[in-house]
Amino acid sequence: MEVTTYSQRKSLPRSLQFQRMERIVKAMQHPTAGVPVREQKLFLTTIPNAFTGNDVSEWIMQKLNIKDSIEACHLASLLCYYGYFFHVTTNGAVQIKDDNELFRFQAPYFWVSTNWTTGNVEYAIYLLKRTLRNRQRHGLEEYEIHALNDLKMKLIHQWDFVTMQAEAQLRVLKDRKKTDKTIIDSQERAFWHVMRPSPDEASILEMDIRNDLYTYRPMKREELVRRRLEYLRQTLSNRVRTKSSQTHQSLCAFFELFSDYDPFLGHCSPSNPWLTSDTERWTLMQPLVDNPTQLRVRRWSFNCKELISDPTGVCEFMKFCKADFSTESLNFYLHVQEIRNCPLSQIKQKADYVYQEHLAPNAPQEVNINDTIRTKIIKQLDNPNRDIFIEAEKHIIELMKKNSYPRFIHSEHYRNLLQNATNPLPKKPGIFHFVKDNYFRLSSSSSDDEYDSDDDEIRKNDNTITNVSNNNIHNKSQPLAGTLVNTAAIATAVVAVNPGLRQSLDSDSKLASANHQTDIK
């Protein structure tokens, strides 16, 4: 196999990802501070430098400051999935648990980043070598048989070379000890399982690392087709047919409704912080404020989603619900949001609390959901995930839209909020609001220099005249908004600055009038 050089590795896809994983694996292989490796007995053989799944999970929890054993096993499974260590006996196993199953570190020669450009010839040699060995232990799987037949057709012009290489490697392997044979066979199988997986599995060369290893299950083609057809039938049956004119009207109404809240398309009160140095808008638009603006309060009346997505709106809605004695639905919604944002180790604890608080029989704050949703939640309580209450959440939001939300919008509490809300007046920017304060300072000047008042005035007037005249020249076709440049004003400023220039202008005007009278005669 052709080994990839270091300079070639840097240009590979996701090279930084492989570098970070390899840094962790090298730390695991440290002779003193790494994962404890030792000789392990396996049936009638002894496996050198092996470790168990319990050893690697304990090392990850200790060195990487991970408190949950499930997260530690998940990280170890990711490293095993990318081929950095492998199971000694169960070829192709990638899920690591807290047990005594034996694993070994993969040699750097078989890392994915080292053999990224592995071709069909090496894979054909590996498959053919397995066909020459014991079928019961080294037999090919169905997808490997199809792959070997395809490679025979593609490499028919060099198949003799493939056969010769496979036989030569097999003769060398026969002279090795039984332990070495087991280790080499496991290394090769783990490497090719990563590089050439089965068609039912996703390849790491094309898949993102965020793939969920625990929820992924390989499916047959018939199952995939059946699910796809079921999805298409549901899409056709639930399809909403509307006229294009109605769609356009609703889209225009949506943009008209939210145009005042777009800082780039509409007005940005009190001032636009992207164009000015005023940061008052950031203070007014913080998640939690004591006195919200009128635009913000008015936005809560658009729909229930706008209200519960604003932290200040949730606080005001909670005050109304407490006065109305109907806080069960809103508390349930807030607890579900906590489960979605909490650490993985706290999901089960919070899920049990939400069930006992809102869904159990005779719960203190029981919410109104049907038995079908309740049964699904009870089945998932033993192994909950972040979306365990997603159906119940949707149902509760629909109930709030019909009951508590309309009462809040038509209540005296909301009218008082709207009446007492602040309405910041827009701040009118200056003509040259984009010019900094020290724009007119010369580059040679410093903060320690002291200038005379007369020199400062002359310098400012000269710079003002230069800037005004330049703006007039460059903006003849499209002048700057809010500015009117007059030639007479420029002449007046020039004369005011230089008294000697006034005499020259008077003499020029007298000469021009005399020439004009001569032409008339």
Per-residue model confidence as pLDDT tens digits over 452-464: 444 444 454 555 5
Give me 349's structure tokens: 């604890």
Judge contact between 404 and 324, C-beta under 8 A: yes
**Residue 433: strand, helix, or coil:** coil
Judge contact between 187 and 110, C-beta under 8 A: yes
Q: Which residue from 357, 359, 366 is spatially nearest to 380, judged by alpha carbons? A: 359
Q: How far is CA 378 from CA 4, 338, 373, 375, 399, in A?
A: 52, 19, 9, 5, 22
The label of the residue with tokens 């944002």 reads 341
Between CA 295 and CA 312 the distance in angstroms is 13
**Residue 109: strand, helix, or coil:** helix
Task: Give me the architecture of the 252-420 domain, per CATH.
Answer: Orthogonal Bundle (1.10)
Quickly list H helices, 259-383.
Answer: 280-284, 294-299, 304-308, 311-324, 328-341, 347-354, 371-380
pLDDT of residue 441: 44
Judge contact between 112 and 9, C-beta under 8 A: no
Task: For the chain, give every domain's residue range.
Answer: 15-110, 120-175, 252-420
Q: Examine domains 15-110 and 120-175 and report if their fold is the same.
A: no
Cis peptide before 270 (omega within 30 of 0): yes
- Give the up-direction half-sphere exposure of residue 273: CA atoms within 13 A in the CB hemisphere: 8
Between CA 150 and CA 124 the distance in angstroms is 10
**Inter-axis angle of helices 412-420 and 311-324, to 10 degrees?**
140
Between CA 128 and CA 427 the distance in angstroms is 79
pLDDT of residue 128: 86
Q: How far is CA 10 from CA 13, 20, 26, 198, in A?
A: 8, 13, 18, 28
Tell which CATH classification among 2.60.40.10, 1.25.10.10, 3.90.1150.10, 1.10.1240.60 matches the domain 120-175: 1.10.1240.60
Give me 4's structure tokens: 């990839």
378, 383, 389, 390 alpha-carbon torsion, rounded to 10°: -130
CB-based contacts of 234, cutoff 8 Å, min separation 6:
none
pLDDT of residue 507: 56
Judge contact between 352 and 381, C-beta under 8 A: yes
- For the chain, residues with pLDDT lower than 50 are 208-216, 432-458, 460, 465-466, 468-499, 501-502, 505, 521
Between CA 58 and CA 479 the distance in angstroms is 71
pLDDT of residue 215: 43
Give me 350's structure tokens: 């919070």
Do the bridges between strand 38-42 and strand 85-87 make them parallel or antiparallel, or are there none, so unpaired? unpaired
Q: Which residue from 111, 107, 141 is spatially nearest to 127, judged by alpha carbons? A: 141
Q: Which amino acid is at 297?
A: V
Q: How far is CA 512 from CA 255, 450, 489, 505, in A?
A: 62, 45, 21, 11
Per-residue pLDDT tens for 390-411? 999 999 999 999 999 999 999 9
pLDDT of residue 491: 43
CATH 1.10.10.10 fits 15-110, yes or no: yes
